Structure 1
Amino acid sequence: MSNQTILWGMLLLPWLTLFLMPKEDIKRWMPAALFVIATNTIIIDAGVTLKLWEIRENIYPFSEMISYVYGALPVGAMWILKYTYGRFLLYAAAQIMGSLVLIFLVQPVLHRREIFVWLNQDMFSGMGAFIITAIHLIIVYSYQMWQEDVFVRSK
Protein backbone atom coordinates (compact mmCIF):
# COMPACT_ATOMS: atom_id res chain seq x y z
CA MET A 1 0.00 0.00 0.00
CA SER A 2 1.39 3.41 -0.92
CA ASN A 3 1.94 6.22 1.56
CA GLN A 4 -0.56 8.36 -0.32
CA THR A 5 -3.23 5.67 0.05
CA ILE A 6 -2.59 5.55 3.80
CA LEU A 7 -2.68 9.34 4.13
CA TRP A 8 -5.87 9.75 2.10
CA GLY A 9 -7.45 6.86 4.02
CA MET A 10 -6.64 8.51 7.37
CA LEU A 11 -8.32 11.66 6.10
CA LEU A 12 -11.43 10.36 4.33
CA LEU A 13 -12.45 7.01 5.82
CA PRO A 14 -13.24 8.32 9.32
CA TRP A 15 -15.61 10.95 7.90
CA LEU A 16 -17.56 8.21 6.08
CA THR A 17 -18.39 6.65 9.46
CA LEU A 18 -20.49 9.72 10.27
CA PHE A 19 -23.18 8.33 7.96
CA LEU A 20 -23.79 5.92 10.84
CA MET A 21 -24.24 8.74 13.38
CA PRO A 22 -27.59 10.53 13.73
CA LYS A 23 -27.64 14.08 12.37
CA GLU A 24 -28.46 15.54 15.80
CA ASP A 25 -25.38 13.86 17.29
CA ILE A 26 -23.17 15.20 14.52
CA LYS A 27 -24.43 18.72 15.28
CA ARG A 28 -23.85 18.20 19.00
CA TRP A 29 -20.27 16.87 18.73
CA MET A 30 -19.02 18.85 15.72
CA PRO A 31 -17.82 21.85 17.79
CA ALA A 32 -15.59 19.50 19.80
CA ALA A 33 -14.31 17.95 16.56
CA LEU A 34 -13.41 21.37 15.19
CA PHE A 35 -11.72 22.18 18.51
CA VAL A 36 -9.71 18.94 18.21
CA ILE A 37 -8.62 19.98 14.71
CA ALA A 38 -7.56 23.45 15.88
CA THR A 39 -5.68 22.27 18.95
CA ASN A 40 -3.97 19.35 17.21
CA THR A 41 -2.91 21.66 14.40
CA ILE A 42 -1.19 23.81 17.02
CA ILE A 43 0.41 20.76 18.68
CA ILE A 44 1.71 19.30 15.40
CA ASP A 45 2.96 22.67 14.16
CA ALA A 46 4.70 23.34 17.48
CA GLY A 47 6.43 19.96 17.25
CA VAL A 48 7.61 20.74 13.72
CA THR A 49 8.86 24.18 14.80
CA LEU A 50 10.66 22.72 17.85
CA LYS A 51 12.14 20.04 15.57
CA LEU A 52 10.63 17.20 17.57
CA TRP A 53 9.25 15.61 14.42
CA GLU A 54 8.96 16.17 10.69
CA ILE A 55 6.16 15.56 8.27
CA ARG A 56 8.05 14.17 5.29
CA GLU A 57 5.09 13.15 3.18
CA ASN A 58 1.66 14.68 3.10
CA ILE A 59 -1.31 15.22 0.84
CA TYR A 60 -2.18 18.37 -1.04
CA PRO A 61 -2.87 21.06 0.26
CA PHE A 62 -1.20 20.19 3.58
CA SER A 63 2.48 21.03 3.86
CA GLU A 64 3.39 20.47 7.52
CA MET A 65 0.35 18.55 8.72
CA ILE A 66 -0.41 14.86 8.92
CA SER A 67 -3.85 13.98 7.53
CA TYR A 68 -5.15 12.15 10.62
CA VAL A 69 -5.39 15.55 12.35
CA TYR A 70 -8.26 16.37 9.96
CA GLY A 71 -9.77 12.87 9.75
CA ALA A 72 -9.25 10.23 12.38
CA LEU A 73 -8.70 12.52 15.38
CA PRO A 74 -11.79 14.74 15.13
CA VAL A 75 -14.11 11.94 14.04
CA GLY A 76 -12.71 9.64 16.73
CA ALA A 77 -13.33 12.37 19.30
CA MET A 78 -16.95 12.66 18.13
CA TRP A 79 -17.56 8.93 18.47
CA ILE A 80 -15.88 8.76 21.87
CA LEU A 81 -17.87 11.75 23.14
CA LYS A 82 -21.10 10.26 21.78
CA TYR A 83 -20.72 7.12 23.87
CA THR A 84 -18.93 8.45 26.94
CA TYR A 85 -19.95 12.07 27.52
CA GLY A 86 -21.18 12.57 31.06
CA ARG A 87 -18.92 9.80 32.37
CA PHE A 88 -15.47 11.38 32.48
CA LEU A 89 -13.58 8.29 33.63
CA LEU A 90 -15.02 6.21 30.78
CA TYR A 91 -14.22 9.06 28.36
CA ALA A 92 -10.65 9.29 29.69
CA ALA A 93 -10.18 5.51 29.44
CA ALA A 94 -11.46 5.46 25.84
CA GLN A 95 -9.29 8.43 24.86
CA ILE A 96 -6.25 6.92 26.54
CA MET A 97 -6.77 3.63 24.69
CA GLY A 98 -7.10 5.51 21.40
CA SER A 99 -4.00 7.55 22.19
CA LEU A 100 -2.01 4.44 23.02
CA VAL A 101 -2.97 2.94 19.66
CA LEU A 102 -1.98 6.15 17.87
CA ILE A 103 1.30 6.69 19.73
CA PHE A 104 2.57 3.12 19.99
CA LEU A 105 1.07 1.45 16.90
CA VAL A 106 0.15 4.01 14.21
CA GLN A 107 2.96 6.54 14.63
CA PRO A 108 5.73 3.89 14.55
CA VAL A 109 4.32 2.63 11.23
CA LEU A 110 4.24 6.19 9.90
CA HIS A 111 7.80 6.65 11.18
CA ARG A 112 9.03 3.51 9.38
CA ARG A 113 7.33 4.65 6.18
CA GLU A 114 8.96 8.09 6.62
CA ILE A 115 5.66 9.94 6.69
CA PHE A 116 5.76 11.25 10.28
CA VAL A 117 9.31 11.03 11.63
CA TRP A 118 10.41 11.59 15.23
CA LEU A 119 13.64 13.61 15.17
CA ASN A 120 14.65 13.51 18.81
CA GLN A 121 13.16 10.47 20.50
CA ASP A 122 15.26 10.96 23.63
CA MET A 123 13.85 14.43 24.26
CA PHE A 124 10.26 13.63 23.36
CA SER A 125 9.46 9.94 23.56
CA GLY A 126 6.11 8.23 23.25
CA MET A 127 5.60 8.97 26.94
CA GLY A 128 5.95 12.70 26.26
CA ALA A 129 3.35 12.42 23.51
CA PHE A 130 1.13 10.49 25.90
CA ILE A 131 1.35 13.26 28.53
CA ILE A 132 0.39 15.90 25.97
CA THR A 133 -2.46 13.67 24.85
CA ALA A 134 -3.70 13.25 28.43
CA ILE A 135 -3.71 17.02 28.95
CA HIS A 136 -5.40 17.47 25.57
CA LEU A 137 -8.23 15.04 26.37
CA ILE A 138 -9.05 16.99 29.54
CA ILE A 139 -9.10 20.25 27.56
CA VAL A 140 -11.38 18.75 24.88
CA TYR A 141 -13.81 17.39 27.50
CA SER A 142 -13.84 20.77 29.27
CA TYR A 143 -14.52 22.50 25.96
CA GLN A 144 -17.49 20.20 25.30
CA MET A 145 -18.84 20.90 28.80
CA TRP A 146 -18.60 24.62 28.04
CA GLN A 147 -20.36 24.08 24.69
CA GLU A 148 -23.17 22.16 26.38
CA ASP A 149 -23.61 25.03 28.84
CA VAL A 150 -23.79 27.57 25.98
CA PHE A 151 -26.48 25.57 24.17
CA VAL A 152 -28.55 25.02 27.32
CA ARG A 153 -28.59 28.76 28.13
CA SER A 154 -29.48 29.75 24.57
CA LYS A 155 -32.67 27.62 24.49
Structure 2
Amino acid sequence: MSNQVILWSLMILPWFTLYFMPKDARKRFMPVALFSIVICILFVEMGQTLGWFVWEEAAYPFKAPSYIFGANTIATMWLFYFLYGRFWRYFAVDTILNFGFIYLFHVYYLGNRGIFHEVSLNPLLNVVYANIISILLYGYQMWQEGVFERAETKSTSPSFANLQPAATKPLTESHKDNDYE
Protein backbone atom coordinates (compact mmCIF):
# COMPACT_ATOMS: atom_id res chain seq x y z
CA MET A 1 0.00 0.00 0.00
CA SER A 2 1.39 3.40 -0.91
CA ASN A 3 2.12 6.04 1.69
CA GLN A 4 -0.43 8.40 0.11
CA VAL A 5 -3.23 5.84 0.51
CA ILE A 6 -2.28 5.35 4.16
CA LEU A 7 -2.11 9.09 4.85
CA TRP A 8 -5.42 9.82 3.14
CA SER A 9 -7.05 6.88 4.94
CA LEU A 10 -5.90 8.26 8.29
CA MET A 11 -7.61 11.52 7.42
CA ILE A 12 -10.92 10.28 5.97
CA LEU A 13 -11.87 6.89 7.42
CA PRO A 14 -12.08 7.87 11.12
CA TRP A 15 -14.85 10.37 10.35
CA PHE A 16 -17.19 7.49 9.48
CA THR A 17 -17.09 6.30 13.11
CA LEU A 18 -19.00 9.42 14.15
CA TYR A 19 -22.09 7.72 12.78
CA PHE A 20 -22.04 5.63 15.97
CA MET A 21 -21.76 8.65 18.29
CA PRO A 22 -25.01 10.35 19.38
CA LYS A 23 -25.73 13.65 17.64
CA ASP A 24 -25.71 15.59 20.93
CA ALA A 25 -22.27 14.21 21.77
CA ARG A 26 -20.94 15.18 18.34
CA LYS A 27 -22.17 18.72 18.87
CA ARG A 28 -20.84 18.83 22.42
CA PHE A 29 -17.32 17.58 21.68
CA MET A 30 -16.69 19.01 18.21
CA PRO A 31 -15.27 22.30 19.58
CA VAL A 32 -12.60 20.48 21.61
CA ALA A 33 -11.79 18.33 18.58
CA LEU A 34 -11.31 21.44 16.44
CA PHE A 35 -9.20 22.99 19.19
CA SER A 36 -7.05 19.83 19.17
CA ILE A 37 -6.42 20.39 15.45
CA VAL A 38 -5.19 23.94 16.14
CA ILE A 39 -2.96 22.88 19.04
CA CYS A 40 -1.49 19.91 17.15
CA ILE A 41 -0.77 22.01 14.05
CA LEU A 42 1.02 24.55 16.25
CA PHE A 43 3.04 21.75 17.88
CA VAL A 44 3.98 20.25 14.50
CA GLU A 45 5.01 23.65 13.12
CA MET A 46 7.08 24.35 16.22
CA GLY A 47 8.65 20.88 16.14
CA GLN A 48 9.65 21.15 12.50
CA THR A 49 11.05 24.67 12.94
CA LEU A 50 13.06 23.69 16.02
CA GLY A 51 14.32 20.51 14.35
CA TRP A 52 12.64 18.08 16.76
CA PHE A 53 11.31 15.91 13.95
CA VAL A 54 10.90 15.83 10.19
CA TRP A 55 7.82 14.89 8.19
CA GLU A 56 9.21 13.48 4.96
CA GLU A 57 5.79 12.99 3.36
CA ALA A 58 2.26 14.28 3.85
CA ALA A 59 -1.04 13.64 2.11
CA TYR A 60 -0.78 15.68 -1.05
CA PRO A 61 -1.37 18.72 -1.19
CA PHE A 62 -1.09 19.18 2.61
CA LYS A 63 2.10 19.94 4.51
CA ALA A 64 0.76 18.96 7.93
CA PRO A 65 0.35 15.32 8.97
CA SER A 66 -3.04 14.14 7.73
CA TYR A 67 -3.90 12.13 10.84
CA ILE A 68 -4.32 15.43 12.71
CA PHE A 69 -7.42 16.16 10.59
CA GLY A 70 -8.82 12.65 10.91
CA ALA A 71 -7.61 10.05 13.38
CA ASN A 72 -6.43 12.51 16.03
CA THR A 73 -9.57 14.64 15.84
CA ILE A 74 -11.97 11.71 16.03
CA ALA A 75 -9.96 9.96 18.76
CA THR A 76 -10.24 13.17 20.79
CA MET A 77 -14.00 13.19 20.38
CA TRP A 78 -14.35 9.53 21.38
CA LEU A 79 -12.02 9.98 24.36
CA PHE A 80 -14.07 12.90 25.62
CA TYR A 81 -17.32 11.07 24.91
CA PHE A 82 -16.36 8.14 27.12
CA LEU A 83 -14.17 9.82 29.75
CA TYR A 84 -15.05 13.49 30.13
CA GLY A 85 -15.96 14.25 33.73
CA ARG A 86 -13.46 11.72 35.13
CA PHE A 87 -10.15 13.53 34.75
CA TRP A 88 -7.78 10.94 36.21
CA ARG A 89 -9.28 8.12 34.17
CA TYR A 90 -9.14 10.36 31.10
CA PHE A 91 -5.50 11.23 31.79
CA ALA A 92 -4.51 7.59 32.38
CA VAL A 93 -6.19 6.33 29.20
CA ASP A 94 -4.83 9.24 27.18
CA THR A 95 -1.30 8.58 28.46
CA ILE A 96 -1.54 4.93 27.42
CA LEU A 97 -2.87 5.95 24.00
CA ASN A 98 -0.09 8.53 23.63
CA PHE A 99 2.58 5.91 24.40
CA GLY A 100 1.08 3.52 21.87
CA PHE A 101 0.59 6.18 19.25
CA ILE A 102 4.05 7.69 19.54
CA TYR A 103 6.09 4.52 20.00
CA LEU A 104 4.17 2.13 17.75
CA PHE A 105 2.71 4.44 15.15
CA HIS A 106 5.14 7.37 14.89
CA VAL A 107 8.47 5.72 15.58
CA TYR A 108 7.89 2.19 14.35
CA TYR A 109 5.27 2.31 11.60
CA LEU A 110 5.70 5.78 10.07
CA GLY A 111 9.44 5.74 10.70
CA ASN A 112 9.87 2.44 8.84
CA ARG A 113 7.84 3.75 5.91
CA GLY A 114 10.03 6.87 5.67
CA ILE A 115 7.20 9.26 6.47
CA PHE A 116 8.34 10.56 9.87
CA HIS A 117 11.68 10.80 11.69
CA GLU A 118 12.41 12.15 15.14
CA VAL A 119 15.61 14.15 15.11
CA SER A 120 16.25 15.75 18.49
CA LEU A 121 13.04 14.89 20.34
CA ASN A 122 13.00 11.50 21.99
CA PRO A 123 9.70 9.59 22.07
CA LEU A 124 9.33 9.85 25.85
CA LEU A 125 9.53 13.65 25.73
CA ASN A 126 7.05 13.58 22.85
CA VAL A 127 4.64 11.66 25.14
CA VAL A 128 5.11 14.33 27.82
CA TYR A 129 4.26 17.05 25.30
CA ALA A 130 1.22 15.07 24.13
CA ASN A 131 0.07 14.79 27.75
CA ILE A 132 0.44 18.54 28.22
CA ILE A 133 -1.71 19.01 25.12
CA SER A 134 -4.31 16.62 26.56
CA ILE A 135 -4.46 18.66 29.77
CA LEU A 136 -4.97 21.82 27.68
CA LEU A 137 -7.78 20.08 25.80
CA TYR A 138 -9.47 18.99 29.02
CA GLY A 139 -9.24 22.52 30.39
CA TYR A 140 -10.68 23.87 27.14
CA GLN A 141 -13.63 21.49 27.36
CA MET A 142 -14.24 22.50 30.98
CA TRP A 143 -14.25 26.13 29.88
CA GLN A 144 -16.51 25.27 26.94
CA GLU A 145 -18.98 23.57 29.28
CA GLY A 146 -19.26 26.88 31.13
CA VAL A 147 -20.91 28.31 28.01
CA PHE A 148 -23.91 26.09 28.72
CA GLU A 149 -26.39 26.29 31.58
CA ARG A 150 -28.56 23.46 32.82
CA ALA A 151 -32.10 23.52 31.49
CA GLU A 152 -34.84 23.90 34.06
CA THR A 153 -36.80 20.95 32.69
CA LYS A 154 -35.42 17.45 33.01
CA SER A 155 -34.91 15.49 29.84
CA THR A 156 -35.13 11.72 29.45
CA SER A 157 -32.22 11.72 27.00
CA PRO A 158 -28.54 11.48 28.04
CA SER A 159 -27.31 13.79 30.79
CA PHE A 160 -25.74 16.34 28.46
CA ALA A 161 -28.84 16.68 26.29
CA ASN A 162 -30.45 19.15 28.71
CA LEU A 163 -27.77 21.77 28.14
CA GLN A 164 -28.75 25.09 26.59
CA PRO A 165 -26.76 28.12 25.54
CA ALA A 166 -26.44 30.55 28.46
CA ALA A 167 -28.29 33.22 26.48
CA THR A 168 -31.51 31.17 26.65
CA LYS A 169 -31.67 30.92 30.42
CA PRO A 170 -34.66 32.68 32.01
CA LEU A 171 -34.34 36.28 33.20
CA THR A 172 -34.14 36.99 36.90
CA GLU A 173 -37.00 38.82 38.56
CA SER A 174 -35.09 42.12 38.56
CA HIS A 175 -34.59 41.93 34.79
CA LYS A 176 -38.24 41.06 34.11
CA ASP A 177 -39.46 44.25 35.74
CA ASN A 178 -37.30 46.56 33.65
CA ASP A 179 -38.67 47.84 30.39
CA TYR A 180 -35.94 48.63 27.91
CA GLU A 181 -38.15 50.49 25.47
| TM-score for the superposition, normalised by structure 1 | 0.93
CA–CA distance in structure 2, aligned partners of residues 106 and 99 of structure 1: 10
Alignment of 1:46-85 (within 5 A): 46-63=46-63, 65-85=64-84
Could you tell me which amino acid in structure 2 is paired with residue 44 of structure 1?
V
Could you tell me which amino acid in structure 2 is paired with residue 67 of structure 1?
S
| Higher gyration radius (CA) | 2
- The equivalent residue for 1:117 is 117
| TM-score for the superposition, normalised by structure 2 | 0.80
Across the aligned residues of Structure 1 and Structure 2, the Cα RMSD in angstroms comes to 1.1
CA–CA distance in structure 2, aligned partners of residues 60 and 2 of structure 1: 12
- In structure 2, stretches of 5+ residues that fail to align are 150-165, 169-181
Pairing 1:149–2:146 present: yes
Structure with bigger helix share is 1
- The equivalent residue for 1:129 is 126
What does the per-residue CA deviation read over 1:52-78, in whole Å, with 9 as the maximum and x for residues that have no partner?
111111112312x11111111111010
CA–CA distance in structure 1, aligned partners of residues 140 and 76 of structure 2: 12
How many equivalent pairs are there? Answer: 151
- In structure 1, stretches of 5+ residues that fail to align are none
1:94 is displaced (CA, Å) by 1.6
CA–CA distance in structure 2, aligned partners of residues 115 and 151 of structure 1: 42
CA–CA distance in structure 2, aligned partners of residues 154 and 98 of structure 1: 37
Q: Secondary structure at the match of 1:117?
A: strand
Looking at both structures, which has the greater relative contact order when contacts are Cα pairs under 8 Å and sequence separation is at least 6? 1
